[in-house]
Amino acid sequence: MNNRWQKVVGQVFNTQPRDGSRKDSLWVKRGGAEETLTLLLQNPGVHICVDGPTGSGKSSLAITVLNRFRINYNLIQMTSSMTWQDFCRELIDSGSNEEISCSTKFVIGLKNGLPTFMLEREAGSQERQADNIDLAYKMSERANEHDICKSLAIHNILLFIDDFERAKPELATRIADMCKLLTQSYQNIYSKILVVGTDDICRRLYAANASLEGRLEQISVGTFAGPGESWQLLSQGFDKLDIRHPGNSKFPRERELIKDCTRAVYEAADGLPKSLNQLGRSISIKAQDRPGVTASDILATAEEQFIKALRSQGRKFRPILKCINESIVVQEIIGYLYKEGIGKIHNLSEISMALMGEFGEQQIEQAVKELVQLNFLVRTGEQDDILFTTQPEFAHIFGLIISRTSIYMGKPYVQKFMGQLTPQLVLPL
């Protein structure tokens, strides 16, 4: 296999967070979420929490908007073992490998055009690199929330924290306190905190500091709105690679199959940017020795990805099926979610309004709690009323099977899971 072609394809269909502000980057606009984030970034004193299902493109959205408006930011990627001292050390740069002078001031500056916390240098005191690192560690142990917030405000730099769901409770509390400080004691237009992650991160921040009401705005990002946007991302990628595909083929039969390709792409990836990039890469690799990809290439590769996803997610079927079969309320809520779009962001009050004529508020509350306990839904937000699926790939695959609408219904690998369903269980999708 041509390693050079693999590299080129990998650069276009990249599953890592990307900067959509670059002209050479593959990017499909995220509609309202992109516009809302743009407005909130220009609003002083307001911090932002971007959450949603895994793989929905939250980090890419944040990076794209920040770079589009040339906002200086410092990125910290959270880990499950990170302590406050670790967090501070990530913000402190101990300098280059050259011998440099150090004072004991903690500031923010720019390194290679990017904002970074560092030790302010003072002429006259030459120290070895090892000593500089040691000093940085000592400073990280002394730094507190006021130190960091003051520096952010002075230098007008945004703090971007990714994978916040991994934050330990103590660290989440200190970051929530920093949000409060940056809206009261230390202020500047971009000196704010942008938190990105999945799970109930917004609820955790509010629980850590109740005074964040009105100071923290939530943007929840789901999957792409429909199959058309998924096909748009793939076709843009094919165009960047300069390979022929059904969308620009000179053969009428190929163009006639675009609808089939769009549906197959939807079933294989369900509007998740990460899954779509994996699919796009697998399809494009086939074009290494020829000018393009055919509808057959797309349909076959989409089916392969669907099978792989089904096999990896199949073990999760029985617990959720048991819950649905034991509770008519759960079944109705699941039905509502799929009817509206399982990959979208949902509001509990809207679900309650839709089902209030059939069930009481406590019944609906209990059913949602069961789905959260099963790890099928995340519940978050200031009012604890935002819902989205925890595992969008599984939710999508599950919905296709139980709705009996998949294009693969007659395949043996799907029939295996059909045997687990009760005849009366048919949900809208």
Q: Read off the pLDDT of residues 347-401 as tens digits, 9 standing for 90 and up.
A: 999 999 999 889 999 999 999 999 999 999 999 998 999 999 999 999 999 988 8
Largest Cα–Cα distance in the chain? Answer: 82
Chain centroid offset of residue 296 CA = 31
Q: What is the pLDDT of residue 72?
A: 92
255 and 247 in contact (C-beta within 8 Å)?
Answer: yes
User: Which of 163, 185, 220 corresponds to the end of one domain?
Assistant: 220
Residues 384, 274 share a domain: no
Going by C-alpha positions, the residue among 316, 380, 309, 382 that lies closest to residue 345 is 380
Q: What is the DSSP string of 69-92?
A: TT--EEEEE--TT--HHHHHHHH-
pTM: 0.86
Q: 379 pairs with which residues across the strands?
A: 387
Q: Do both 301 and 357 map to the same domain?
A: no
Q: Look at the chain and count its residues.
A: 429
In terms of domains, do 351 and 263 share one?
no
Q: Are residues 297 and 324 in the same domain?
A: no
Q: Does residue 94 belong to any structural domain of this protein?
A: yes
Q: What is the domain count for the chain?
A: 3
The pLDDT score that the predictor gives to residue 133 is 55
pLDDT in tens, 317-348: 889 989 988 899 999 999 999 999 999 999 99
CA distance 284 to 368: 41
424 within domain boundaries: no
| 85 and 75 in a common domain | yes
Residues 185 and 230 in one domain: no
Where does 35-79 show beta strands of DSSP type E?
Answer: 47-51, 73-77
Q: Which pLDDT value is given to residue 386?
A: 96
Q: In angstroms, rounded to a whole number, what is the distance separating the alpha carbons of residues 152 and 164?
A: 19
- Give the mean model confidence (pLDDT) for residues 116-131: 45
Domain hosting 121: range is 32-220
393, 376 Cβ separation under 8 angstroms: no
Both 142 and 260 in a single domain?
no
* 267, 283, 313 - which closes a domain: 313
Nearest to 350 by CA among 362, 363, 333, 370: 333
pLDDT band at residue 119 using 50, 70 and 90 as cut-offs:
very low
243 and 200 share a domain? Answer: no
Task: For tokens 């199949």, name the residue.
Answer: 314
Which helix (H) or strand (E) covers residue 229, if one does? helix 227-240
Position 428 scores a pLDDT of 54
**What pLDDT was estimated at residue 137?**
64
pLDDT at 104 over 50: no
Instruction: Establish if 17 belongs to a structural domain.
Output: no
pLDDT tier, 105 (very low <50, low <70, confident <90, very high otherwise): very low
What percentage of the chain has pLDDT greater than the value 90? 67
Residue 76, sorted as left (phi over 0), alpha (psi -120 to 50) or beta, turns out to be beta
Q: For all residues of the chain together, what is the average pLDDT? A: 86
Residue 187: inside a domain: yes
Q: 141 versus 46: which is more confidently predicted?
A: 46
Residues 253 and 192 in one domain: no
Say if residue 295 is in the same domain as residue 398. no
Closest by CA position to 84, among listed 151, 168, 165: 168
Type of residue at 25: S
Q: Kindly state whether residue 139 falls inside one of the protein's structural domains.
A: yes
Residue that finishes a domain, picked among 220, 237, 264: 220
Percent above pLDDT 70 for the chain: 86
Tokens of 326: 């034991």
Is there a domain that residue 304 lies in?
yes
Q: pLDDT by residue (tens digit) across 10-22?
A: 999 999 999 999 9
- pLDDT per residue as tens digits for the range 246-261: 999 999 999 999 999 9
In a domain, 23, yes or no: no
Residue 429 reports pLDDT greater than 90? no
- Reported as a pLDDT band with limits 50, 70 and 90, residue 95 is very low
Token code pair at residue 233? 């991302």
Are 345 and 52 in contact by the 8 Å Cβ rule? The answer is: yes
| Arithmetic mean of pLDDT, 74-97 | 79
The single-letter code of the amino acid at 201 is I
- Cα angle for residues 39, 176, 160 (degrees, 5° grid): 50
Please tell me whether residues 293 and 332 are part of one structural domain: no
